[in-house]
């Protein structure tokens, strides 16, 4: 087949290419002709149309968890609580009220479709009412199916929201804070005029230094309380790993989140355990996996948490501009912004080649980690760090 002059088929004003894997009638697959055609295409297609590959880019701390892909929810049917009633079966679905609109759909279309397909009745609290979604049905299996459908819709809607909270190791040690300030001053002095896109606004605030373990979208107080309880439940295992001692992390050297140093969005300090046993990695993986199992964080798909201490992120440039706009007009600050962690922001990368060449082995010092925190994004506590509503000591001191 000539890929530049394929056989075409017109339907009204629409033109379709006739694929070589179909027979003359265009209705059924022909195993012989399709095999031959595919062999022919495999030889010609790469030469005719080269495939452009995107450069490798690792995920940022607060990148969109969905990346435009709907996740398959990991709700085990056996973990769904279904109660037997006189008239059938019932289950209560704990979904934040801010997601009810996704469950209902336009003019109730989504809710009605699920009810028909699962042969259940779904009761959603009205706009000003408090309560949970109740599912009722004649068969237990139908109720379970409806429950999983609702959870799937809620998860996909949640993944499109902006990250609200994150679990982290605080790295705001006074000595390290001073080193980061020193680094920023030196970089701007030696590279600021000659490196495209490099300015003061893209540096992380030294008081907010941290290692992100996992990010979450928490939409109500009940979910925040639940995450606090989950973190607390891991304390015995974590203290067993640390033997009741603090963890010392050495921050030295710079790395970028992509493979082109002239087009960088994130530059971070590499971290390694002073003891060399990577206990912090084990703890991070433990926490991330537990939160993912509970449906509160994105599944790692077998990958380890990439622990890194962000020093520069071009996303901060947009946040500074957004905060300035919000100061001038408070109504511009959105609640539950669905613009997402990457959606709607026009990132301007910076050229990191000079920074990496001159400061690639910069030593930021050592941090002694004694606790793990759950922090709230876009907040600032009295010490300059994020406001945290939960913390967990990893030492025997508490």
Kindly state whether residue 55 falls inside one of the protein's structural domains: no
Whether the per-residue pLDDT at 300 is higher than 80: the answer is: no
Q: What percent of the chain has pLDDT above 70?
A: 75
Are 179 and 228 part of one and the same domain? yes
Q: DSSP secondary structure string, 353-395?
A: HHHHHHHTT-EEEEEEE-EEEEEETT---TTSS--EEEEEE-S
Number of domains in the chain: 3
Per-range mean pLDDT, top range of 30-39, 55-64, 80-89, 342-351:
80-89
pLDDT for res 37: 40
For residues 318 and 337, what is the distance between their CA atoms, to the nearest angstrom? 14
CATH at residue 369? 3.90.1140.10
Same domain, 199 and 320: yes
pLDDT tops 50 at residue 120: yes
> Of 132, 159, 186, which residue constitutes the final position of a domain?
159
pLDDT band, very low/low/confident/very high, at 1 (cuts 50, 70, 90): low
Same domain as 340, residue 246: yes
How far apart CA 77 and CA 145 sit, in angstroms, is 8
How many angstroms separate the CA atoms of 72 and 198, rounded?
Answer: 39
Q: 118 is written with which tokens?
A: 């699962």
* Same domain, yes or no: 171 and 228: yes
Neighbours of 351 (CB within 10 A): 18
**CATH number for the domain harbouring residue 86:** 3.30.1370.10
Q: Output the pTM of the full model.
A: 0.73
In the predicted structure, residue 395 carries a pLDDT above the cut 50: yes
| 62 in any annotated domain | no
C-alpha distance from residue 112 to each of 115, 147, 152, 275 (Å): 5, 14, 16, 58
Sheet of 371-376, strand order: 210-216, 165-170, 371-376, 388-393
What's the pLDDT tens digit per position in 255-285? 999 889 999 999 999 998 876 678 999 999 9
Is the pLDDT at 184 greater than 90? The verdict is yes
Q: Are residues 216 and 233 in the same domain?
A: yes
pLDDT tier for residue 396 given thresholds of 50, 70 and 90: confident
For range 351-371, the mean pLDDT: 96
Show which of 159, 174, 203 is a domain's final residue.
159
pLDDT at 26 over 50: no
pLDDT at 66 exceeding the cut of 60: no
Based on the domain organization, do 234 and 369 belong to the same domain?
A: yes
pLDDT at 118 over 80: yes
- Look at residues 102, 125, 159 and tell me which one is the last residue of a structural domain: 159
pLDDT for residue 323: 57
Together in a domain, 138 and 182:
no
What's the pLDDT score for residue 296?
A: 85
With CA atoms as reference, report the closest residue to 124 among 145, 144, 157, 150: 150
Strand partners, 267: 256, 312
CA 293 to chain centre: 15
Range of the domain at 84: 77-159
């Amino acid at each position: 087949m000539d890929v530049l002059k394929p056989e075409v088929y017109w339907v009204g004003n629409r033109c379709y290419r006739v694929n070589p894997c179909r027979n003359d009638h265009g209705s059924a697959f022909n195993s012989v002709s399709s095999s031959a055609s595919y062999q022919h295409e495999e030889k010609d297609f790469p030469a005719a149309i080269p495939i452009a590959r995107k450069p490798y880019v690792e995920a940022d701390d607060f990148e969109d968890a969905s990346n435009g892909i709907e996740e398959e929810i990991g709700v085990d049917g056996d973990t769904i609580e279904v109660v037997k009633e006189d008239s059938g079966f019932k289950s209560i679905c704990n979904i934040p009220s801010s997601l009810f609109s996704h469950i209902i759909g336009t003019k109730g279309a989504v809710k009605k479709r699920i009810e028909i397909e699962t042969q259940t009745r779904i009761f959603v609290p009205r706009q000003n009412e408090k309560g949970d979604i109740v599912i009722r049905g004649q068969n237990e299996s139908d109720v379970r199916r409806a429950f999983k459908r609702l959870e799937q819709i809620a998860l996909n809607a949640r993944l499109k929201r902006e990250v609200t909270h994150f679990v982290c190791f605080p790295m705001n040690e006074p000595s390290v804070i001073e080193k980061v300030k020193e680094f920023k001053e030196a970089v701007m002095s030696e590279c600021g005029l000659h490196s495209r896109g490099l300015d003061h606004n893209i540096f992380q605030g030294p008081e907010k230094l941290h290692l992100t373990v996992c990010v979450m979208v928490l939409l109500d107080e009940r979910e925040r309380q639940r995450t606090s309880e989950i973190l607390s439940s891991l304390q015995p295992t974590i203290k067993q790993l640390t033997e009741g001692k603090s963890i010392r992390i050495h921050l030295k050297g710079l790395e970028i989140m992509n493979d082109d140093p002239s087009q960088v969005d994130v530059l971070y300090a590499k971290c390694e355990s002073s003891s060399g046993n990577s206990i912090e990695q084990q703890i991070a993986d433990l926490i991330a996996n537990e939160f993912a199992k509970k449906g509160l964080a994105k599944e790692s798909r077998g990958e380890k948490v990439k622990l890194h201490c962000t020093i520069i992120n071009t996303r901060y440039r947009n946040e500074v501009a957004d905060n300035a706009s919000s100061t001038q007009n408070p109504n511009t600050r959105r609640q539950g912004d669905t613009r997402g962690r990457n959606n709607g922001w026009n990132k301007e990368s910076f050229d990191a080649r000079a920074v990496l060449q001159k400061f690639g082995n910069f030593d930021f010092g050592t941090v002694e980690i004694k606790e793990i925190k759950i922090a709230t994004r876009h907040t600032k506590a009295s010490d300059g760090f994020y406001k945290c509503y939960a913390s967990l000591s990893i030492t025997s001191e508490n």
